[in-house]
Amino acid sequence: MAGFEGAAAAWAERMTRCLDSFGRPKRLFVFVNPFGGKKCAKKIYDAEIKPLFEAAGVSITVQETEYQGHAREVASSLDLAKYDGIVCVSGDGVLVEVVNGILQRTDWKEAIKMPIGVVPAGTGNGMAKSLLHAANETCSVSNAVFAIIRGHKQSLDVCTILQGEKKFFSVLLMTWGLVADIDIESERYRWMGSARIDFYAVVRIMNLRKYCGSIQFVPAPGYEEYGEPIKQVENCMVESLEQNGKSHPSSYPGPSVEFQASEWRFVDGPFIAVWINNVPWAAEDIMAAPEAKFSDGYMDAVILRDCPKADLLALLMKMSDGSYIKSPFVTYLKVRAFKLSPGQLVENPKRGGIIDVDGEVIARGEGTYGKSQHQDVMAYGPHIQLTVHRALATVYCPKRIR
C-alpha cells in the first residue's frame, strides 16, 4: 500500500513517545552472574534479555560478576548519574549485594532511589517470583524483562541486621534452624541439582535438630498475644551504630526507631526453626510468607518450636502455596523489630547452628558446615537484631502493586 512505510514509522514513533511518557528506563547497568544456578545466566542474557532491551531502544552496560561480593563493590562506586536503573541477571544474591553496596555509599540517600530490576537466572529467584506473582504473572525471564522495560516501580522495605558494630542489609529473609540447615548444608549435594533441597530436607527431618536460644520482638498491631512480656528495662531498646558510639554518617546507619520496653515480648526455645521474611516467596517454589507485603514496614516471622516428624514432612510439602502456616505447629506473626539470641543444639551442646540471610551465611556456630573454611560477617551466640526501614529501596515491577 502506498504510504504504508511512512504510516508505520509514524505509528512506531507515536508508540515510543507514549512508552517514554511512562518514565521507562533508557539506560541500564546490567549485572550478569555467570556462576549462579545452573550457570546459564550469560546464555540467557545473550539469547533472551539483550534482544528485548535492544528492541525497546534501551542502552545497556553489562558487567559480569567475577567473584562473591563483586556486585557490591561495583555498586558502591558506580556513577549512577549515567543510568536510569540497575538490573540483576541472577538469583537473589546479586540483588542483595547491590543493595548493600548502595547503602555503603556516601550519597546513599539519593543512590537508594535508583530502581533495581531482577531477572530470574539463579537458584532461588525469590524476589522475581514475589514481584511477578503479585501481578498474577508467571515467573519467567521475558516477563521480568518486560516489567523493567515498562518502567513501573514498587517501593521495597529493607531490613538492617545489626550485631555490635557489624551490619548487613537484607531484602528477602533471615533463617535459623531447619530451613537454614537445609539450604546451606545441602550445598555438598549440588551435583543433584534442585533435587538436593528435597533430598536433604528428608535427611534433616529424619534426624531432626532442635536449638536452644531465645527471641525477642515488637509485634505489629493485632499480634500482641504471642509471647511473654519483657519485664526488665535493660537491653530492650533497638540498638543502632550511633547508640553504640560508632556513628558512620558517610553510609546508611539503619532506621532510626525506638520502642518502649513494654512493647517487647519474648519466647524461649528450644526451636526447630525461626524464619523472618520481607517478601512472600523465598524461592520460586517456596511461599514462605503468604501475608508479606513489599512496603508495609513489617517483617513476617515464622516460628516452629515443636512438631512430630510426620507432620513436619507434610508441612514442608505445603510450602509451595503457603498453606503450611495454617498448621497448629506454626506460629506466624508480623513484627516491627526482632532479636535472635541463637544457642547450641539440644542434642549436642558443643555444636551451634547456621544463620542464613538472603542465601548468605552471616554466622555459624562451632561444628557447623563450612565453619573452618569461611570467615563470617557476625559471631554466633550474641544477639542479632533486625529492624525494618519502610519503602527504603525501589524495584521494577510488572505493574503498580498495592
Which pLDDT does position 324 carry in this prediction? Answer: 96
Which pLDDT does position 232 carry in this prediction? Answer: 62
Which pLDDT does position 124 carry in this prediction? Answer: 81
Q: Which of 20, 46, 92, 356 is catalytic?
A: 92
Query: pLDDT, tens digit, for every residue of 91-103?
Result: 899 999 999 999 9
Query: pLDDT, tens digit, for every residue of 275-315?
Result: 999 999 999 999 999 999 999 999 999 999 999 999 999 99
Interval 217-232 mean pLDDT: 90
- Residue 234 reports pLDDT greater than 90: no
Distance CA 327, CA 315 (A): 7
Query: pLDDT, tens digit, for every residue of 115-154?
Result: 999 999 887 899 999 999 999 999 999 999 999 999 999 9
For residue 348, give the amino acid letter: N
Band (21; pLDDT cuts 50, 70, 90)? low
Between 78-92, 356-370, 382-396, the lowest mean confidence (pLDDT) is in 356-370
- Residue 243 reports pLDDT greater than 60: no
Mean pLDDT is highest, among 6-20, 33-47, 295-309, for 295-309
Contact 340/211 with Cβ under 8 angstroms?
A: no
Which pLDDT does position 235 carry in this prediction? Answer: 46
Interval 372-386 mean pLDDT: 88
Q: Which three cell numbers stand for residue 265?
A: 515480648
Which pLDDT does position 192 carry in this prediction? Answer: 78
- Residue 393 reports pLDDT greater than 90: yes
Which pLDDT does position 304 carry in this prediction? Answer: 97
Handedness of CA 237, 240, 243, 244 (dihedral sign): positive
Q: Which three cell numbers stand for residue 337?
A: 523489630
Distance CA 198, CA 320 (A): 12
Band (2; pLDDT cuts 50, 70, 90)? low
Which pLDDT does position 179 carry in this prediction? Answer: 94
Interval 363-375 mean pLDDT: 84
Distance CA 300, CA 292 (A): 6
- Residue 216 reports pLDDT greater than 70: yes
Distance CA 397, CA 118 (A): 9
How confident is the prediction for the chain on average, in pLDDT?
Answer: 89
In angstroms, what CA-CA distances link 327 with 231, 315, 323, 332?
Answer: 30, 7, 8, 10
Which pLDDT does position 247 carry in this prediction? Answer: 47
Residue 92 bears catalytic tag:
yes
Which pLDDT does position 288 carry in this prediction? Answer: 96
In this structure, the chain runs to a length of 402
Between 93-102, 128-137, 331-340, 368-377, the lowest mean confidence (pLDDT) is in 368-377
Q: How many CA atoms lie within 13 A of 288 on its CB side?
A: 29
Name the one residue in this structure whose C-alpha cell is 530470574.
120
